[in-house]
Amino acid sequence: MNWSEYEDDVLKAGYEAHRTASEIAATLGRTSGAVRGRASALGIAKAKLSEPEESGFENEAVCQYCGQISMPGEECNCPEAKRERRIKDQILRAKNTIREVFGQACQDEGYKPVSAENIEIMDAAAVQIANYKMHAVSLVLSSGTRAKLTRGAKGVIKVERSETKKTTLEVGE
């Protein structure tokens, strides 16, 4: 369950008043673990979080979206955390595809690789597209190669390369 601004204010006030996570949790109708996690996500000082009777486990993780605490190796399953993981995965796959289409691997298809700087620009565009900041980016590279990255209706990122080659010869009389 997401935290409201009111709940965040109650949590902050509770820690400022040196109340324990258990006391704040009882007020908010949440678990003390959720309160500690949300406090950590809000950046409340660790010194204010220490409760010897509720020390928790080493290396516990706090979800930055819902404030729930999980054990090492576990991932939060709140909708926001799931969405963030999907986006990160899509960015990684888009970058790999960019390298396949424009990097050294493109030589297998008869194309010439583009510069590392151009690939970095396309990587940055893929991040923006995956995060719904842009819908499409078209680039004309110095070699005449065209690069296009777009987000389709189903949320997929399409990486496209096109080159136009033209040969003109003149024969005198």
Question: pLDDT per residue over 112-168, tens digit each?
Answer: 999 999 999 999 999 999 999 999 999 999 878 999 999 988 889 999 999 876 667
Last residue of a domain, which of 76, 100, 117?
Answer: 76
Tell me: do 9 and 65 sit in the same domain: yes
- Whether 52 shows a pLDDT value over 50: the answer reads no
Average pLDDT rounded to a whole number, residues 88-97: 95
Task: Point out the least confidently predicted range of 17-31, 65-79, 154-168.
Answer: 65-79
Last residue of a domain, which of 36, 55, 76?
Answer: 76
Tell me: do 93 and 157 sit in the same domain: yes
Residue 101 lies in a domain: yes
Tell me: do 107 and 91 sit in the same domain: yes
The range of the structural domain enclosing residue 141 comes to 80-162
Tell me: do 64 and 87 sit in the same domain: no
> Residue 122: exposed, middle, or buried by beta-carbon count in 10 A (0-12, 13-18, 19+)?
buried
Residue 168 lies in a domain: no
- Whether 20 shows a pLDDT value over 90: the answer reads no
Residue 167 lies in a domain: no
Tell me: do 157 and 87 sit in the same domain: yes
Residue 171 lies in a domain: no
Q: What is the DSSP letter of 111?
A: P
Q: How many domains does the chain have?
A: 2
pTM of the model: 0.61
- Contact between 132 and 103 under an 8 Å Cβ cutoff? The reply is no
pLDDT at 54: 45
Last residue of a domain, which of 35, 53, 76?
Answer: 76
- Contact between 15 and 35 under an 8 Å Cβ cutoff? The reply is no
